[in-house]
Structure 1
Amino acid sequence: MPVNNGAGRRALLGAVCAAILLGGCADPQSPGGRRPEGKGGTVSPSPASPAPGASLPRPAEIPALGPATRARIEPTTEQALVVMGDGRDSDRSTAVLYERDPVRGWQAVSTPWPAHNALRGWTDHHRAGDLRSPIGVFGLRDAGGRLPDPGTRLPYDRTEEFNMPGTGFLGEPLEGSFDHVIAIDYNRTPGTTPLDKTRPLGLDKGGGVWVHVDHGGPTRACISLPRERMRQLLQALDPDKNPVIVMGDTVALAR
Protein backbone atom coordinates (compact mmCIF):
# COMPACT_ATOMS: atom_id res chain seq x y z
CA MET A 1 0.00 0.00 0.00
CA PRO A 2 1.53 3.40 -0.86
CA VAL A 3 2.71 5.56 2.04
CA ASN A 4 0.81 8.82 2.73
CA ASN A 5 3.71 11.38 2.67
CA GLY A 6 1.70 14.11 4.52
CA ALA A 7 0.86 11.82 7.41
CA GLY A 8 4.47 10.64 7.64
CA ARG A 9 5.81 14.18 7.92
CA ARG A 10 3.32 14.98 10.66
CA ALA A 11 4.33 11.88 12.59
CA LEU A 12 8.04 12.72 12.27
CA LEU A 13 7.48 16.33 13.49
CA GLY A 14 5.54 15.08 16.52
CA ALA A 15 8.36 12.71 17.44
CA VAL A 16 10.98 15.48 17.24
CA CYS A 17 8.94 17.80 19.52
CA ALA A 18 8.46 15.03 22.04
CA ALA A 19 12.21 14.38 22.09
CA ILE A 20 12.94 18.08 22.72
CA LEU A 21 10.53 18.22 25.66
CA LEU A 22 11.82 15.01 27.19
CA GLY A 23 15.45 16.10 26.77
CA GLY A 24 14.94 19.26 28.87
CA CYS A 25 16.59 21.72 26.53
CA ALA A 26 15.48 24.72 28.61
CA ASP A 27 18.40 25.89 30.82
CA PRO A 28 17.38 25.03 34.43
CA GLN A 29 19.52 27.92 35.66
CA SER A 30 17.74 30.55 33.61
CA PRO A 31 13.98 31.13 33.17
CA GLY A 32 12.88 30.89 29.57
CA GLY A 33 15.93 28.83 28.57
CA ARG A 34 18.33 31.82 28.28
CA ARG A 35 21.66 31.50 30.17
CA PRO A 36 22.84 34.91 31.54
CA GLU A 37 26.45 35.66 30.82
CA GLY A 38 28.96 37.85 32.60
CA LYS A 39 32.35 39.03 31.45
CA GLY A 40 34.25 36.45 29.47
CA GLY A 41 31.09 34.50 28.89
CA THR A 42 31.03 33.01 32.41
CA VAL A 43 27.83 32.58 34.33
CA SER A 44 27.08 35.42 36.77
CA PRO A 45 25.67 33.98 40.02
CA SER A 46 22.47 35.52 41.26
CA PRO A 47 22.92 37.69 44.37
CA ALA A 48 22.02 35.93 47.59
CA SER A 49 18.85 37.07 49.24
CA PRO A 50 17.53 36.20 52.69
CA ALA A 51 15.06 33.39 52.84
CA PRO A 52 11.46 34.45 53.37
CA GLY A 53 10.84 34.97 57.05
CA ALA A 54 14.56 34.93 57.97
CA SER A 55 15.42 37.17 60.93
CA LEU A 56 18.44 39.47 61.26
CA PRO A 57 21.16 38.58 63.81
CA ARG A 58 20.34 39.79 67.32
CA PRO A 59 22.47 42.65 68.70
CA ALA A 60 25.31 41.41 70.89
CA GLU A 61 24.95 41.41 74.67
CA ILE A 62 27.72 42.06 77.20
CA PRO A 63 29.38 38.68 77.82
CA ALA A 64 28.89 36.87 81.15
CA LEU A 65 26.00 39.06 82.32
CA GLY A 66 22.81 37.26 83.27
CA PRO A 67 19.24 38.40 82.49
CA ALA A 68 18.66 40.02 85.88
CA THR A 69 21.84 42.11 85.58
CA ARG A 70 21.12 43.08 81.97
CA ALA A 71 17.62 44.18 82.95
CA ARG A 72 19.12 46.77 85.31
CA ILE A 73 20.91 48.51 82.43
CA GLU A 74 18.55 51.17 81.11
CA PRO A 75 17.73 51.25 77.37
CA THR A 76 19.16 54.79 77.22
CA THR A 77 22.58 53.60 78.46
CA GLU A 78 25.20 53.40 75.71
CA GLN A 79 28.37 53.04 77.84
CA ALA A 80 29.06 50.50 80.56
CA LEU A 81 32.22 49.87 82.57
CA VAL A 82 31.96 46.21 83.56
CA VAL A 83 34.05 45.32 86.62
CA MET A 84 33.99 41.57 87.21
CA GLY A 85 35.49 40.25 90.42
CA ASP A 86 37.57 37.10 90.47
CA GLY A 87 35.42 35.69 93.29
CA ARG A 88 32.95 36.60 96.00
CA ASP A 89 35.72 37.15 98.56
CA SER A 90 38.48 38.27 96.19
CA ASP A 91 39.90 41.80 96.07
CA ARG A 92 40.93 41.51 92.41
CA SER A 93 38.84 42.25 89.35
CA THR A 94 38.98 42.87 85.62
CA ALA A 95 37.41 45.95 84.03
CA VAL A 96 36.29 46.36 80.40
CA LEU A 97 34.55 49.39 78.86
CA TYR A 98 31.68 48.62 76.48
CA GLU A 99 29.63 50.81 74.16
CA ARG A 100 26.26 49.98 72.62
CA ASP A 101 26.06 50.15 68.83
CA PRO A 102 22.48 50.59 67.54
CA VAL A 103 22.93 47.70 65.07
CA ARG A 104 25.67 45.42 66.43
CA GLY A 105 24.78 45.78 70.09
CA TRP A 106 27.35 45.93 72.90
CA GLN A 107 30.99 46.07 71.78
CA ALA A 108 34.15 46.17 73.90
CA VAL A 109 36.03 49.43 73.30
CA SER A 110 38.92 48.75 75.68
CA THR A 111 41.26 45.92 76.48
CA PRO A 112 40.74 44.17 79.84
CA TRP A 113 42.18 46.32 82.64
CA PRO A 114 43.38 44.95 85.97
CA ALA A 115 41.47 46.39 88.91
CA HIS A 116 41.13 46.17 92.68
CA ASN A 117 37.95 46.11 94.71
CA ALA A 118 37.32 45.90 98.46
CA LEU A 119 39.48 43.82 100.78
CA ARG A 120 36.78 41.25 101.59
CA GLY A 121 35.24 41.08 98.11
CA TRP A 122 31.60 41.78 97.27
CA THR A 123 28.16 42.08 98.82
CA ASP A 124 24.54 42.53 97.77
CA HIS A 125 23.86 44.52 100.94
CA HIS A 126 26.72 46.94 101.52
CA ARG A 127 27.15 48.40 104.98
CA ALA A 128 29.51 51.09 106.16
CA GLY A 129 32.81 49.53 107.17
CA ASP A 130 32.10 46.00 105.92
CA LEU A 131 35.12 46.20 103.57
CA ARG A 132 33.09 44.83 100.67
CA SER A 133 32.17 46.51 97.37
CA PRO A 134 28.47 46.84 96.51
CA ILE A 135 27.14 44.66 93.71
CA GLY A 136 24.93 46.32 91.12
CA VAL A 137 24.53 48.75 88.24
CA PHE A 138 25.23 52.38 89.15
CA GLY A 139 25.54 55.65 87.27
CA LEU A 140 28.87 57.38 86.54
CA ARG A 141 28.08 61.10 86.32
CA ASP A 142 30.52 63.15 88.40
CA ALA A 143 34.31 63.28 88.58
CA GLY A 144 37.06 65.18 90.34
CA GLY A 145 40.55 64.92 91.70
CA ARG A 146 43.63 66.61 93.07
CA LEU A 147 45.16 66.93 89.60
CA PRO A 148 43.77 68.97 86.66
CA ASP A 149 40.96 67.63 84.51
CA PRO A 150 42.56 65.22 81.98
CA GLY A 151 39.90 66.00 79.37
CA THR A 152 36.70 64.42 80.58
CA ARG A 153 33.19 65.44 79.53
CA LEU A 154 31.90 64.70 83.02
CA PRO A 155 31.65 67.56 85.54
CA TYR A 156 35.09 67.68 87.21
CA ASP A 157 35.78 69.11 90.67
CA ARG A 158 39.47 69.85 91.15
CA THR A 159 40.54 70.50 94.74
CA GLU A 160 43.33 69.63 97.18
CA GLU A 161 40.67 68.00 99.38
CA PHE A 162 41.18 64.86 97.29
CA ASN A 163 44.54 64.37 99.02
CA MET A 164 44.83 60.86 100.52
CA PRO A 165 47.71 60.31 102.99
CA GLY A 166 48.51 57.11 104.88
CA THR A 167 48.99 53.49 103.88
CA GLY A 168 46.75 50.75 102.56
CA PHE A 169 46.00 47.24 103.79
CA LEU A 170 49.28 45.91 102.38
CA GLY A 171 51.34 48.81 103.72
CA GLU A 172 51.35 50.52 100.31
CA PRO A 173 51.25 54.35 100.21
CA LEU A 174 47.86 55.82 99.38
CA GLU A 175 49.23 59.17 98.20
CA GLY A 176 47.95 59.97 94.71
CA SER A 177 45.01 57.53 94.83
CA PHE A 178 42.54 60.39 94.47
CA ASP A 179 44.45 62.31 91.82
CA HIS A 180 41.49 61.36 89.59
CA VAL A 181 38.19 59.89 90.77
CA ILE A 182 34.73 59.14 89.38
CA ALA A 183 31.85 58.94 91.82
CA ILE A 184 29.82 55.72 91.68
CA ASP A 185 26.14 56.56 92.19
CA TYR A 186 25.73 54.33 95.22
CA ASN A 187 23.99 56.10 98.14
CA ARG A 188 24.80 59.57 96.88
CA THR A 189 23.13 62.52 95.18
CA PRO A 190 24.00 62.61 91.44
CA GLY A 191 25.06 65.97 90.07
CA THR A 192 27.25 66.84 93.06
CA THR A 193 30.99 66.68 93.70
CA PRO A 194 32.28 63.22 94.64
CA LEU A 195 33.17 64.79 98.01
CA ASP A 196 29.50 65.42 98.84
CA LYS A 197 28.58 63.47 102.00
CA THR A 198 24.80 63.30 101.50
CA ARG A 199 23.65 59.69 102.00
CA PRO A 200 20.04 59.23 100.78
CA LEU A 201 19.90 55.62 102.05
CA GLY A 202 21.30 56.52 105.47
CA LEU A 203 24.80 56.56 106.92
CA ASP A 204 24.70 52.86 107.82
CA LYS A 205 24.58 51.97 104.09
CA GLY A 206 27.98 53.53 103.50
CA GLY A 207 28.94 55.84 100.67
CA GLY A 208 31.86 57.61 99.07
CA VAL A 209 32.32 54.68 96.66
CA TRP A 210 34.47 55.78 93.75
CA VAL A 211 36.52 54.61 90.80
CA HIS A 212 39.99 55.96 91.52
CA VAL A 213 43.71 55.50 90.84
CA ASP A 214 45.06 52.13 91.96
CA HIS A 215 47.54 52.15 94.85
CA GLY A 216 48.61 48.53 94.51
CA GLY A 217 46.25 46.94 97.01
CA PRO A 218 42.60 46.34 97.97
CA THR A 219 40.22 49.18 98.73
CA ARG A 220 37.60 49.75 101.43
CA ALA A 221 34.71 49.62 98.92
CA CYS A 222 35.92 51.45 95.79
CA ILE A 223 37.15 50.22 92.42
CA SER A 224 40.71 51.20 91.49
CA LEU A 225 42.36 51.23 88.07
CA PRO A 226 45.96 51.83 86.96
CA ARG A 227 46.65 55.55 86.57
CA GLU A 228 46.78 55.63 82.77
CA ARG A 229 43.62 53.50 82.50
CA MET A 230 41.89 55.90 84.84
CA ARG A 231 42.78 58.79 82.57
CA GLN A 232 41.56 56.85 79.52
CA LEU A 233 38.26 56.12 81.23
CA LEU A 234 37.73 59.76 82.13
CA GLN A 235 38.41 60.80 78.54
CA ALA A 236 36.07 58.13 77.14
CA LEU A 237 32.98 58.61 79.30
CA ASP A 238 30.25 60.69 77.70
CA PRO A 239 27.35 61.93 79.86
CA ASP A 240 25.10 61.93 76.77
CA LYS A 241 25.52 58.13 76.69
CA ASN A 242 24.24 57.73 80.25
CA PRO A 243 27.32 55.77 81.40
CA VAL A 244 27.08 53.18 84.17
CA ILE A 245 29.32 50.80 86.06
CA VAL A 246 28.27 47.15 86.28
CA MET A 247 30.17 45.68 89.22
CA GLY A 248 30.25 42.43 91.16
CA ASP A 249 31.74 38.97 91.29
CA THR A 250 31.31 36.59 88.34
CA VAL A 251 28.54 34.53 89.95
CA ALA A 252 26.52 37.56 91.01
CA LEU A 253 26.72 39.26 87.60
CA ALA A 254 25.67 36.03 85.84
CA ARG A 255 22.28 36.12 87.55
Structure 2
Amino acid sequence: MSVSSVRRGPRLAAALLASGLLLTGCGGAAADGGSAPGGTTADGKGVDGTDSAGSHGGTVGSLGGTAGRSAPEPQTAEPKVIPGLGPRTLAAIPPETDQAVVATGAGRDRNTGTVLVYERDPVTGWAPVSDVWPAHNAKRGWTDDHVRGDLRTPIGVFGLTDAGGLLPDPGTRLPYDRGPAFSVSGTGFQGDSLVGSFDYVVAINYNRVPGNTPLDWTRPLGADKGGGIWLHVDHGGPTQGCVSLPRGRMKELLRLLDPMKKPVVVMGDAESLQR
Protein backbone atom coordinates (compact mmCIF):
# COMPACT_ATOMS: atom_id res chain seq x y z
CA MET A 1 0.00 0.00 0.00
CA SER A 2 1.33 3.44 -0.86
CA VAL A 3 1.81 6.25 1.58
CA SER A 4 -0.90 8.27 -0.18
CA SER A 5 -3.39 5.43 0.35
CA VAL A 6 -2.59 5.30 4.02
CA ARG A 7 -3.02 9.04 4.32
CA ARG A 8 -6.39 8.87 2.50
CA GLY A 9 -7.72 6.15 4.85
CA PRO A 10 -8.84 8.39 7.78
CA ARG A 11 -10.27 10.98 5.39
CA LEU A 12 -12.33 8.33 3.57
CA ALA A 13 -13.64 6.88 6.83
CA ALA A 14 -14.69 10.31 8.04
CA ALA A 15 -16.44 10.99 4.73
CA LEU A 16 -18.34 7.68 4.89
CA LEU A 17 -19.38 8.41 8.47
CA ALA A 18 -20.65 11.88 7.54
CA SER A 19 -22.54 10.42 4.58
CA GLY A 20 -24.27 7.93 6.86
CA LEU A 21 -25.33 10.66 9.26
CA LEU A 22 -26.77 12.71 6.42
CA LEU A 23 -28.80 9.75 5.19
CA THR A 24 -30.10 9.16 8.71
CA GLY A 25 -31.13 12.85 8.93
CA CYS A 26 -33.46 12.56 5.85
CA GLY A 27 -35.44 9.60 7.12
CA GLY A 28 -34.77 8.97 10.79
CA ALA A 29 -34.26 12.36 12.38
CA ALA A 30 -37.07 14.90 12.24
CA ALA A 31 -36.35 18.37 10.99
CA ASP A 32 -36.85 19.76 14.49
CA GLY A 33 -34.17 17.47 15.96
CA GLY A 34 -36.52 14.74 17.24
CA SER A 35 -36.10 11.14 16.17
CA ALA A 36 -38.39 8.14 15.85
CA PRO A 37 -37.30 4.97 17.71
CA GLY A 38 -35.49 2.54 15.43
CA GLY A 39 -35.11 5.14 12.66
CA THR A 40 -37.47 5.79 9.73
CA THR A 41 -37.33 5.75 5.99
CA ALA A 42 -38.06 8.78 3.82
CA ASP A 43 -41.76 7.86 3.53
CA GLY A 44 -42.21 7.97 7.32
CA LYS A 45 -41.98 4.19 7.82
CA GLY A 46 -39.71 2.78 10.50
CA VAL A 47 -36.94 0.46 9.54
CA ASP A 48 -39.02 -2.44 10.83
CA GLY A 49 -41.89 -1.49 8.46
CA THR A 50 -44.08 0.31 11.02
CA ASP A 51 -45.11 3.98 11.04
CA SER A 52 -42.57 6.17 12.76
CA ALA A 53 -45.14 6.96 15.45
CA GLY A 54 -45.75 3.23 15.87
CA SER A 55 -46.83 2.20 19.31
CA HIS A 56 -44.33 4.40 21.05
CA GLY A 57 -46.43 7.56 21.18
CA GLY A 58 -43.63 9.67 19.67
CA THR A 59 -44.11 12.75 17.51
CA VAL A 60 -44.19 12.77 13.74
CA GLY A 61 -42.16 15.88 13.11
CA SER A 62 -43.00 16.31 9.43
CA LEU A 63 -46.76 16.51 10.25
CA GLY A 64 -46.49 18.43 13.49
CA GLY A 65 -49.10 16.15 15.13
CA THR A 66 -48.92 13.96 18.18
CA ALA A 67 -49.71 10.28 17.88
CA GLY A 68 -52.14 8.70 20.34
CA ARG A 69 -54.23 11.87 20.94
CA SER A 70 -57.84 12.37 19.81
CA ALA A 71 -58.82 15.33 17.66
CA PRO A 72 -60.79 18.03 19.53
CA GLU A 73 -64.57 17.69 19.42
CA PRO A 74 -66.27 20.12 16.99
CA GLN A 75 -68.02 22.98 18.72
CA THR A 76 -71.78 23.18 18.05
CA ALA A 77 -74.20 25.97 18.99
CA GLU A 78 -77.21 25.24 21.18
CA PRO A 79 -80.53 25.20 19.25
CA LYS A 80 -82.34 28.53 19.56
CA VAL A 81 -85.43 28.77 21.72
CA ILE A 82 -88.39 31.11 21.30
CA PRO A 83 -87.49 34.42 23.00
CA GLY A 84 -89.78 35.63 25.76
CA LEU A 85 -90.85 32.14 26.86
CA GLY A 86 -89.84 30.79 30.25
CA PRO A 87 -88.98 27.19 31.11
CA ARG A 88 -92.52 26.20 32.11
CA THR A 89 -94.03 27.59 28.91
CA LEU A 90 -91.33 26.01 26.73
CA ALA A 91 -91.86 22.66 28.45
CA ALA A 92 -95.57 22.80 27.55
CA ILE A 93 -94.79 22.82 23.81
CA PRO A 94 -95.04 19.19 22.64
CA PRO A 95 -91.72 17.71 21.44
CA GLU A 96 -93.30 16.78 18.09
CA THR A 97 -94.41 20.38 17.45
CA ASP A 98 -92.38 22.31 14.87
CA GLN A 99 -94.71 25.31 14.41
CA ALA A 100 -95.84 27.76 17.09
CA VAL A 101 -98.08 30.83 16.88
CA VAL A 102 -96.95 33.03 19.78
CA ALA A 103 -99.60 35.53 20.92
CA THR A 104 -98.11 37.89 23.50
CA GLY A 105 -100.38 40.25 25.39
CA ALA A 106 -99.25 43.72 26.38
CA GLY A 107 -100.30 43.12 30.00
CA ARG A 108 -102.35 40.87 32.26
CA ASP A 109 -105.35 43.21 32.11
CA ARG A 110 -104.72 44.58 28.62
CA ASN A 111 -106.54 43.62 25.43
CA THR A 112 -103.83 44.35 22.85
CA GLY A 113 -100.71 42.48 21.89
CA THR A 114 -98.78 40.89 19.05
CA VAL A 115 -98.56 37.58 17.20
CA LEU A 116 -95.42 36.04 15.70
CA VAL A 117 -95.18 32.63 13.99
CA TYR A 118 -92.13 30.42 14.64
CA GLU A 119 -90.91 27.18 13.12
CA ARG A 120 -88.36 24.74 14.52
CA ASP A 121 -85.39 23.31 12.64
CA PRO A 122 -84.05 20.09 14.21
CA VAL A 123 -80.49 21.47 14.22
CA THR A 124 -80.71 25.25 14.61
CA GLY A 125 -83.90 25.43 16.68
CA TRP A 126 -86.72 27.98 16.54
CA ALA A 127 -86.82 30.94 14.13
CA PRO A 128 -89.57 33.40 13.13
CA VAL A 129 -91.31 32.86 9.78
CA SER A 130 -93.64 35.86 9.88
CA ASP A 131 -93.60 39.54 10.67
CA VAL A 132 -94.87 40.83 14.00
CA TRP A 133 -98.64 41.18 13.67
CA PRO A 134 -100.87 43.41 15.84
CA ALA A 135 -103.59 41.56 17.72
CA HIS A 136 -106.50 41.95 20.10
CA ASN A 137 -107.55 39.62 22.91
CA ALA A 138 -110.39 39.63 25.44
CA LYS A 139 -111.64 42.87 26.91
CA ARG A 140 -110.37 42.25 30.45
CA GLY A 141 -107.08 40.63 29.48
CA TRP A 142 -105.78 37.13 30.32
CA THR A 143 -106.42 34.37 32.85
CA ASP A 144 -104.94 31.07 34.04
CA ASP A 145 -108.43 29.84 34.94
CA HIS A 146 -110.88 30.80 32.23
CA VAL A 147 -114.61 30.54 32.95
CA ARG A 148 -117.53 31.35 30.71
CA GLY A 149 -118.30 35.05 30.58
CA ASP A 150 -115.17 36.32 32.37
CA LEU A 151 -114.12 38.28 29.29
CA ARG A 152 -110.56 37.01 29.59
CA THR A 153 -108.48 34.93 27.18
CA PRO A 154 -107.08 31.65 28.52
CA ILE A 155 -103.31 31.42 29.00
CA GLY A 156 -101.52 28.32 27.80
CA VAL A 157 -100.32 26.17 24.91
CA PHE A 158 -103.10 24.76 22.73
CA GLY A 159 -103.22 22.78 19.51
CA LEU A 160 -104.39 24.21 16.18
CA THR A 161 -106.08 21.51 14.11
CA ASP A 162 -109.22 22.92 12.50
CA ALA A 163 -110.21 25.97 10.49
CA GLY A 164 -113.24 27.41 8.77
CA GLY A 165 -115.03 30.57 7.80
CA LEU A 166 -117.74 32.32 5.88
CA LEU A 167 -115.45 32.86 2.88
CA PRO A 168 -113.80 30.22 0.66
CA ASP A 169 -110.68 28.43 1.84
CA PRO A 170 -107.73 30.79 1.16
CA GLY A 171 -105.31 27.88 0.75
CA THR A 172 -104.85 26.31 4.17
CA ARG A 173 -103.65 22.73 4.74
CA LEU A 174 -105.87 22.42 7.80
CA PRO A 175 -109.37 20.95 7.44
CA TYR A 176 -111.56 23.91 6.46
CA ASP A 177 -115.29 24.13 7.14
CA ARG A 178 -117.06 26.78 5.11
CA GLY A 179 -120.65 27.79 5.70
CA PRO A 180 -123.18 30.52 6.52
CA ALA A 181 -123.07 29.61 10.22
CA PHE A 182 -119.91 31.69 10.43
CA SER A 183 -121.96 34.85 9.83
CA VAL A 184 -121.93 37.40 12.64
CA SER A 185 -123.51 40.83 13.14
CA GLY A 186 -123.79 43.48 15.82
CA THR A 187 -121.12 45.65 17.42
CA GLY A 188 -118.17 45.14 19.73
CA PHE A 189 -117.33 46.74 23.06
CA GLN A 190 -116.15 49.94 21.38
CA GLY A 191 -118.99 50.18 18.89
CA ASP A 192 -116.90 48.40 16.23
CA SER A 193 -118.82 46.34 13.67
CA LEU A 194 -118.46 42.58 14.06
CA VAL A 195 -119.46 41.84 10.47
CA GLY A 196 -116.79 39.74 8.75
CA SER A 197 -115.04 38.72 11.98
CA PHE A 198 -115.57 35.04 11.22
CA ASP A 199 -114.74 35.20 7.53
CA TYR A 200 -111.62 33.20 8.50
CA VAL A 201 -111.14 31.37 11.79
CA VAL A 202 -108.80 28.82 13.35
CA ALA A 203 -110.17 26.97 16.35
CA ILE A 204 -107.94 27.03 19.44
CA ASN A 205 -108.08 23.64 21.14
CA TYR A 206 -109.23 24.94 24.50
CA ASN A 207 -112.16 22.89 25.88
CA ARG A 208 -113.09 21.42 22.52
CA VAL A 209 -112.73 18.18 20.58
CA PRO A 210 -109.83 18.38 18.08
CA GLY A 211 -110.65 17.21 14.59
CA ASN A 212 -114.15 18.71 14.53
CA THR A 213 -115.41 21.88 12.87
CA PRO A 214 -114.84 25.07 14.89
CA LEU A 215 -118.63 25.21 15.16
CA ASP A 216 -118.77 22.04 17.30
CA TRP A 217 -119.87 23.10 20.77
CA THR A 218 -118.83 19.95 22.65
CA ARG A 219 -117.13 21.04 25.90
CA PRO A 220 -115.03 18.23 27.47
CA LEU A 221 -114.29 20.36 30.58
CA GLY A 222 -117.92 21.37 30.98
CA ALA A 223 -119.88 24.39 29.81
CA ASP A 224 -118.75 26.52 32.77
CA LYS A 225 -115.15 26.48 31.47
CA GLY A 226 -116.23 28.32 28.33
CA GLY A 227 -115.14 27.57 24.80
CA GLY A 228 -115.37 28.80 21.26
CA ILE A 229 -111.91 30.38 21.60
CA TRP A 230 -110.70 31.15 18.09
CA LEU A 231 -108.13 33.04 16.09
CA HIS A 232 -110.26 35.19 13.81
CA VAL A 233 -110.43 38.42 11.78
CA ASP A 234 -109.93 41.56 13.84
CA HIS A 235 -112.89 43.96 14.07
CA GLY A 236 -110.99 46.88 15.58
CA GLY A 237 -111.56 46.22 19.27
CA PRO A 238 -111.27 43.69 22.08
CA THR A 239 -112.90 40.27 21.92
CA GLN A 240 -114.92 38.17 24.36
CA GLY A 241 -112.12 35.61 24.69
CA CYS A 242 -110.56 35.07 21.25
CA VAL A 243 -107.39 36.41 19.63
CA SER A 244 -107.99 38.48 16.51
CA LEU A 245 -105.70 39.46 13.64
CA PRO A 246 -106.02 41.81 10.65
CA ARG A 247 -107.80 40.13 7.73
CA GLY A 248 -104.68 39.83 5.56
CA ARG A 249 -102.73 38.32 8.45
CA MET A 250 -105.44 35.73 9.09
CA LYS A 251 -105.20 34.62 5.45
CA GLU A 252 -101.40 34.49 5.76
CA LEU A 253 -101.66 32.45 8.94
CA LEU A 254 -104.04 29.96 7.35
CA ARG A 255 -101.58 29.42 4.52
CA LEU A 256 -98.65 29.01 6.91
CA LEU A 257 -100.20 26.44 9.23
CA ASP A 258 -99.09 22.92 8.43
CA PRO A 259 -100.70 19.96 10.22
CA MET A 260 -97.55 17.91 9.57
CA LYS A 261 -95.73 20.31 11.93
CA LYS A 262 -98.30 19.84 14.72
CA PRO A 263 -98.93 23.58 15.16
CA VAL A 264 -99.84 25.11 18.51
CA VAL A 265 -100.69 28.55 19.78
CA VAL A 266 -98.68 29.79 22.76
CA MET A 267 -100.65 32.64 24.28
CA GLY A 268 -100.77 34.85 27.33
CA ASP A 269 -99.56 38.15 28.67
CA ALA A 270 -95.80 38.69 28.40
CA GLU A 271 -95.15 38.22 32.12
CA SER A 272 -97.05 34.95 32.27
CA LEU A 273 -95.29 33.53 29.22
CA GLN A 274 -91.91 34.18 30.86
CA ARG A 275 -92.66 31.65 33.61
TM range (shorter): 0.7 to 0.9
Indicate if the aligned counterparts of 2:32 and 2:61 stay in contact, CA closer than 8 A: no
CA distance in 2 between partners of 1:94 and 1:73 (Å)? 19
Aligned to 2:202: 182
Task: Give how far 1:32 is off.
Answer: 4.2
Aligned to 1:220: 240
Q: Structure 1 residue 159 and structure 2 residue 179: aligned?
A: yes
CA distance in 1 between partners of 2:144 and 2:274 (Å)? 14
Q: 1:34 to 1:203 in 2, by over 3 A?
A: closer
Q: Structure 1 residue 120 and structure 2 residue 140: aligned?
A: yes
Alignment equivalent of 2:119, drawn from 88, 99, 107: 99
Paired residue secondary structure (1:221): coil
CA distance in 1 between partners of 2:232 and 2:174 (Å)? 15
Q: 1:179 to 1:52 in 2, by over 3 A?
A: same
Indicate if the aligned counterparts of 1:169 and 1:217 stay in contact, CA closer than 8 A: yes
Paired residue secondary structure (2:147): coil
Aligned to 1:44: none
Q: Structure 1 residue 196 and structure 2 residue 216: aligned?
A: yes
Paired residue secondary structure (2:160): strand
Aligned to 2:39: none
Task: Give how far 1:78 is off.
Answer: 0.9
Please tell me the residue identity of whatever aligns with 1:241.
Answer: K
Instruction: String of CA shifts for 1:220-255, please: whole Å, max 9, x gaps.
Output: 100000101100100111111111000001111111
Indicate if the aligned counterparts of 1:184 and 1:209 stay in contact, CA closer than 8 A: yes
Instruction: String of CA shifts for 1:73-123, please: whole Å, max 9, x gaps.
Output: 111111100001111111011101111111111111001111111111100
What are the residue-to-residue correspondences of 1:1-255 with 2, within 5 Å? 32=61, 52-255=72-275
Paired residue secondary structure (2:161): strand
CA distance in 1 between partners of 2:75 and 2:225 (Å)? 47
Indicate if the aligned counterparts of 1:189 and 1:200 stay in contact, CA closer than 8 A: yes
CA distance in 2 between partners of 1:119 and 1:133 (Å)? 9
Q: Compare CA radii of gyration and give the structure with the larger one.
A: 2
Indicate if the aligned counterparts of 2:86 and 2:273 stay in contact, CA closer than 8 A: yes
Indicate if the aligned counterparts of 2:231 and 2:245 stay in contact, CA closer than 8 A: yes
Instruction: String of CA shifts for 1:142-185, please: whole Å, max 9, x gaps.
Output: 11100001011111111111111001111110100000000000
Indicate if the aligned counterparts of 1:153 and 1:238 stay in contact, CA closer than 8 A: yes
Task: Give how far 1:58 is off.
Answer: 1.4
CA distance in 1 between partners of 2:234 and 2:159 (Å)? 20
Indicate if the aligned counterparts of 1:94 and 1:114 stay in contact, CA closer than 8 A: yes
Which runs of 5 or more structure 2 residues have no equivalent in the other structure?
1-8, 35-59, 65-69
Which runs of 5 or more structure 1 residues have no equivalent in the other structure?
36-49
CA distance in 2 between partners of 1:228 and 1:187 (Å)? 27
Task: Give how far 1:53 is off.
Answer: 3.8
Paired residue secondary structure (1:161): helix
Task: Give how far 1:6 is off.
Answer: 5.5
- Give the TM-score normalised by the residue count of structure 2: 0.76
Indicate if the aligned counterparts of 2:170 and 2:255 stay in contact, CA closer than 8 A: yes
Q: 1:32 to 1:77 in 2, by over 3 A?
A: same
CA distance in 1 between partners of 2:76 and 2:257 (Å)? 30
Please tell me the residue identity of whatever aligns with 1:151.
Answer: G
Q: Percent of aligned pairs with the same residue?
A: 60
Task: Give how far 1:34 is off.
Answer: 8.4
CA distance in 1 between partners of 2:63 and 2:247 (Å)? 69
Q: 1:192 to 1:32 in 2, by over 3 A?
A: same
Task: Give how far 1:55 is off.
Answer: 4.4
Please tell me the residue identity of whatever aligns with 1:108.
Answer: P
Higher relative contact order (CA 8 A, sep 6+): 1
